[in-house]
A and B are shown apart, each in its own frame.
Chain A
Amino acid sequence: MHRTKVRVVEDALDANNTIAGANRSDFDRSDVTVVNLMSAPGAGKTTLLERALEDIAEEGLRVGVLEGDVQGSFDADRLSVLHIPVVQLNTDNGFGGECHLDANMVRSALPAVPLDKIDVLIVENVGNLVCPAEFRIGEDSRIMVCSVTEGEDKPLKYPLMFRACELVIINKVDLLQHLDFDVDRLEANIKQVNHDATVMRVSAKTGEGVDEVRAWLKALPARVAAEAAHDHDHADHDHPDHEHAPA
């Protein structure tokens, strides 16, 4: 038997990224902008969606939600009162499920998502600050929710997640008066790991700051389209081999 060294030099996540690219093509074909919404468990993703998506169709934005959960349809049930398309995606195989969504799981759920009837698809990932940051699902933008009950140092402990996101929503600010929590320090820590992130202070419970989130969502499709057009021009003129690499 003879041993041969084989040069590979391949990102081990290429297989996932390829499927994410296929998802992306499907989204682009239907002109749907996709948001990957991530947080630790209990940060308030679903409550935020309940608030932020209320009657948003009346303001001209058709939103659908893909709900990723380890088990159950509690979150999807809560969102059903919004009268928007909500699709449940469980990661459980019967013995405890995946801790994140990957491109293939999202792909398997796509046939149930009415892409031709929505402008924005929000994919609510499984609550977790580590794994979801690793796996692209074909999204245009990533949002994370962190809450003021979690500790100011979280950006320094989970830099991969905080660096991956374009918008960081600090939730539960209505609780600040009861807590010994330095929200300015949290924001400084976010900026230390991700200077370009937009940071919003929100209470999904009282509604404080939620309008800002709605405005951000409503502006997203046009901004993504403008960036894609710019990248496309850029690619044609300067970098013929340019790939839209994940951030």
Chain B
Amino acid sequence: MHEFDLSNAIVQTVNKHAAGRRVTHITLRVGRLRQVVKDTLLFYLAIVGKDTPCEGATLEIVDVPAVLRCNTCENEWEIEIPAFICGTCGPGAVEVATGEEFMVESIEVEDEEDAACTAPR
């Protein structure tokens, strides 16, 4: 159910960067540890984005695997269950390498043709 508020946060972030231009596509990076349900997020985004520059934009969610790193043995491994423990060294020096992302990576916006031609390349 946190997906509703997460959708709000996405729409705010996207609209800020869109600066009034219509958004056609949103690419999001979501770490597995965020416990985000994709279908629910898509459902709410359509509602929250309505009547904003995000309306009608397609959404691409890039899954980021949950990868832990042990700072003692410097091993890195992907987890499928929430076990934050190094098989060799125990739990002491384990940190999350990836999997906590909740990030708007990029957006695609519609530019006026003229503006696009004069924009710096």
* B102 at the A interface (CB under 8 A): yes
Which residues does B use to contact A, with CB under 8 Å?
Answer: 1-2, 5-6, 9-10, 12-14, 17-18, 24, 28, 33-35, 81-85, 91-92, 94, 102-113, 116, 119
In the docked arrangement, what's the CA distance between A125 and B56, Å?
35
CB of B1 within 8 A of CB of A131, answer yes
- B94's closest neighbor in chain A, by CB? A195
Which residues does A use to contact B, with CB under 8 Å?
Answer: 1-16, 98-100, 102, 130-131, 134-135, 155-156, 158-160, 163, 191-195
- A155's closest neighbor in chain B, by CB? B82
Given A12-B9, A134-B6, A195-B92, A6-B85 contact (CB < 8 Å) = no
Shortest Cβ gap from B44 to chain A (Å): 13
Contact of A192 among B17, B82, B112 (CB under 8 A): B82
CB of A12 within 8 A of CB of B13, answer yes
Q: Which residues of A contact B35 (CB under 8 A)?
A: 130, 158-160
Interface of A is mostly: mixed
- B18's closest neighbor in chain A, by CB? A6
- A130's closest neighbor in chain B, by CB? B2
CB of B111 within 8 A of CB of A16, answer no
Contact of A6 among B9, B91, B107 (CB under 8 A): B107
Q: Which residues of A contact B5 (CB under 8 A)?
A: 98, 100, 102, 131, 134-135
Contact of B105 among A8, A155, A192 (CB under 8 A): A8
Q: Which residues of B contact A98 (CB under 8 A)?
A: 5
CB of B111 within 8 A of CB of A3, answer yes
Contact of A4 among B12, B34, B111 (CB under 8 A): B111
In the docked arrangement, what's the CA distance between A195 and B17, Å?
39
CB of B116 within 8 A of CB of A12, answer no
Q: Which residues of B contact A191 (CB under 8 A)?
A: 91
Q: Which residues of A contact B84 (CB under 8 A)?
A: 163, 192-195
In the docked arrangement, what's the CA distance between A171 and B36, Å?
28
Shortest Cβ gap from A131 to chain B (Å): 4
In the docked arrangement, what's the CA distance between A8 and B109, Å?
12
CB of A5 within 8 A of CB of B6, answer no
In the docked arrangement, what's the CA distance between A102 and B92, Å?
31
Given A2-B110, A135-B5, A10-B17 contact (CB < 8 Å) = yes
